[in-house]
Amino acid sequence: MKPLPDEIRSAYPVCSRLLAEEPLPPDGPAPTVEDLPRRLAATPAALKRHPYLADLARIEQAIHKLSTDPPGIPSRVDRLRLNPALVLLPVSWQRLPERLQDDRAAPAPVPNGFVLVWKAPGSGRVRAATADGHDLLALKIVSEAIAPRQAAEDGGVSLGTIDNILYAASQRGLLLAPPSRIVRPPAFGREAVDGDQFRVARCFTLQWHITQACDLHCRHCYDRSDRQPLPLVEALRVLDDLYDFCQRMHVYGQVTFTGGNPLLYPHFDEVYRQSAERGFLTAVLGNPMPRRRIETLLRIQDLEFYQVSLEGLAEHNDYIRGPGHFQRTMAFLDVLRELNVSTMVMLTLTDANMGQVLPLAERLRGRTGVFTFNRLSPVGEGADLSPAGTGRYRAFLEDYLRAARNNPAMRLKDNLFNILLHERGEPFFGGCAGFGCGAAFNFVSLLPDGEVHACRKLPSLIGNIRERSLYDIYRDAPARRFRAGSKACRGCAIRPVCGGCLAVSHGSGLNIFRERDPYCFMEK
């Protein structure tokens, strides 16, 4: 073969190097960028040292075309679509993409193989990879417009398996996914908080108070009413409803089970299993339970986290939650750590336990992954307890923030920490729910009897899931009102990561839609 032109060496760097080792006979004019793969495919007998060169040339040709003249990739789509800058190549050799990166990668014959070459959205990087079965299934589902439920039924797998395959393909850029529809409006504060990090939610959480049954009787319980739980068939319809909501809003879903003690719901294991089958992340806000009970759940699906509560050191905690609760909880944390379950410890902050927060945090160092607190919402039986004093709250936050610098378990949750961070010019964190007050934004609370509330810590009824779909409830006026929060916070520089706490305002007798959090110390 005659010396290769410069344009060939540029478009086919690996093939050009390998062709220098092949004693190919002259065969007419030098190949062009367009016809090199064809020329190599027409002379297979001559390719004795590198018989895979024709396939490799087709891959390099696709890379060259996508690098120099790619088709346009739309910035937004309204449904899952194939990446138009994607080429699927049938090949007769495996490990060819690896050969492009490493000369030691030895291709081997393979029947009916495929290689993907694509330009990744956003980065613009052109990539090549051997297609596996999941890749090919994702492309088939989208190209043939097969509904995920139908694909799951046809394949004898869970709906969550199909969704995870599609999600992985979209993350790699093989598919284009529509953006989340859970988005803060443009006027929702931009002075100090910019970008999408605290404005666009990609996960929606259903905080499901699945039962009122509880093995404790805490002194700050929000609700001891006799709400009857949903029967199993209705509970499963809730999961289908949540799945449809997430599909329409283009987000993935999480079910956080709580109560009462959620594991006392008579059909809990089946509901947990069905949540996993639909691809939902799962978490529990509950009480200490026997080890074997947790092992049963882990055989179904790993927990994102298991959250328990402590209200201070042993004496005060047991006054609030019952004798022996402190030691049982500490022992349970050890069990969860042995089972590799991520743990969280939550404290409800009152006037009586403010001084115990930092000592408790030290007791929990190395024993839990996360320790944080919520302020008391004085509703239900919690109305008999004294909230933390507003006059010393800023100093408490400063002490906590200082201690958290040296204790990896201590995390920030209260939105008002962002006031301090704003004053110091330090990066914000997501606040209570990742987006400031997330009530009716990136989560809702579902009560045992089907009532849907914007937040469980205050009366915030926005609908009933037995009467209307979650999608309709979410879009209706009551939910939008809670989502907007207090008018007193509008225009605040840090509104996307704050909004105060509506539950605390309600418990203080304020108009939650007009007045700001009584603990707020942001200068107007």
Share of the chain above pLDDT 70, in %: 97
How far apart are alpha carbons 477 and 467 in whole angstroms? 16
pLDDT confidence band for 28 (50 / 70 / 90): low
Among 3-7, 93-97, 442-446, name the one with the lowest average pLDDT.
3-7
Residue 25: predicted pLDDT: 55
The overall average pLDDT reported for the chain is: 93
The per-residue pLDDT for 340 is 98
pLDDT in tens, 389-422: 999 999 999 999 999 999 999 999 999 999 999 9
- Using an 8 Å Cβ cutoff, are 321 and 218 in contact? yes
Residue range 275-295, pLDDT digits in tens: 999 999 999 999 999 999 999
For 62, residues 6+ apart whose C-beta sits below 8 A from its C-beta are: 87, 89, 117, 128
Residue 109: alpha-carbon gap to chain centroid: 40
Higher-pLDDT residue of 195, 153: 153
pLDDT value at residue 344: 98
Looking at residues 485-497, what average pLDDT do you find? 93
> DSSP secondary structure string, 40-99?
HHT-GGG-SS-TTHHHHHHHHHHHHHHHHSPPP--S--SS-EE-TTEEEEEEEEESHHHH
Structure tokens at 6: 């410069």
Q: Is the pTM of this model over 0.85?
A: yes
pLDDT of 191 over the 70 cut: no
Q: Worst-scoring range by mean pLDDT, 23-37, 307-321, 431-445, 493-507? A: 23-37
Q: Which residues pair with 348 in a beta bridge?
A: 374
pLDDT at 454: 98
Check residue 221 and give its pLDDT: 83
Whether 100 and 57 have beta carbons less than 8 Å apart is answered as no
pLDDT classification of 46: cutoffs 50, 70, 90? low
Give the pLDDT confidence of 355-388 residue by residue, as tens digits.
Answer: 999 999 999 999 999 999 999 988 877 778 899 9
What is residue 1's predicted lDDT score, i.e. its pLDDT? 53
Please report the pLDDT score of residue 26 as a whole number. 57
The residue ranking higher by pLDDT, 382 or 207, is 207
Which one of 222-236, 376-390, 456-470 scores highest in mean pLDDT?
456-470
